[in-house]
Chains A and B, each alone.
Chain A
Amino acid sequence: MLRFARSRPGERSRVRAIRALFLRHGDESTPEGRSLRLLRAWLSPAQRAHFAEKGYFEVVGGDTGRQYRIHAGAGMNVCEVDKKGRPTLGLCFMPVGELPIGDIMLSQKIALENWESGALAVARRFIPNRFSFRRSRLLG
């Protein structure tokens, strides 16, 4: 007879932390690890620190000067934030193809900083709620 063992307290967070360490210290053999290394190399020091600490980083739109937050994620991971840092509008856009997470986030950063109107033209918009950008993984 099968029985589902209840996980010990804190086990899930331990597993998550180990996985994050594994990724953070660059498992170059995985697409995700390689893409995150590339992303970190192309972030500014402030963005890199933010990403490591909070799981997201912020960019300034090249055309409008609006502030955007890019969360770790492969879709529905970008939002526009107001001056108080509150998400006001969710944006979903990404490069075609099945790219790993770091590549997607770097493409989003480059697009918003250099070609904001083009990125906004293709992006699907959504209203963010308090569950939209919950931090699920430490990847910075």
Chain B
Amino acid sequence: MAIQVVMDRTGDSRHRFDPDGEQELAKAEQRFYELTKVGFTAAVRTGPGKVSQIQSFDPNAEETVFFPRLVGG
């Protein structure tokens, strides 16, 4: 199972999906583009403590985290 973690005021919302399932994968891809379109940044873990920002949906990513647009305080 793969997971998309979307940061929000509850801590996060977690969306699990089976990357081998066509429908679930399509839904995950749709969620990815819906979030990034409204300004969320997507990042995947590439190793212990190593994180890479991604611009397009990666069907092989086991865990993707999304956080909202950054602003100055």
Instruction: List residues of A whose CB falls within 8 A of some B CB.
Output: 30-35, 38, 42-48, 75-76, 92-100, 102-103, 106-107, 109-111, 113-115, 118-119, 122-124
Which of A34, A110, A119 has the most C-beta atoms of chain B within 10 angstroms of its own C-beta? A110
A sample of 10 inter-chain contacts (CB < 8 A) reads: A38-B7, A42-B49, A43-B49, A44-B49, A45-B49, A75-B73, A99-B68, A107-B7, A107-B41, A111-B41
* B26: interface (CB < 8 Å): no
Query: Which B1-45 residues sit within 8 Å CB-CB of chain A?
Result: 5, 7-12, 39, 41, 43, 45
Which B residues are CB-close (under 8 A) to A48?
A: 49
Which B residues are CB-close (under 8 A) to A103?
A: 7, 11-12, 67
B71 touches A93 (CB 8 A): yes
Which B residues are CB-close (under 8 A) to A47?
A: 49
B51 touches A94 (CB 8 A): no
> How distant is A73 from chain B, measured CB to nearest CB, in Å?
10
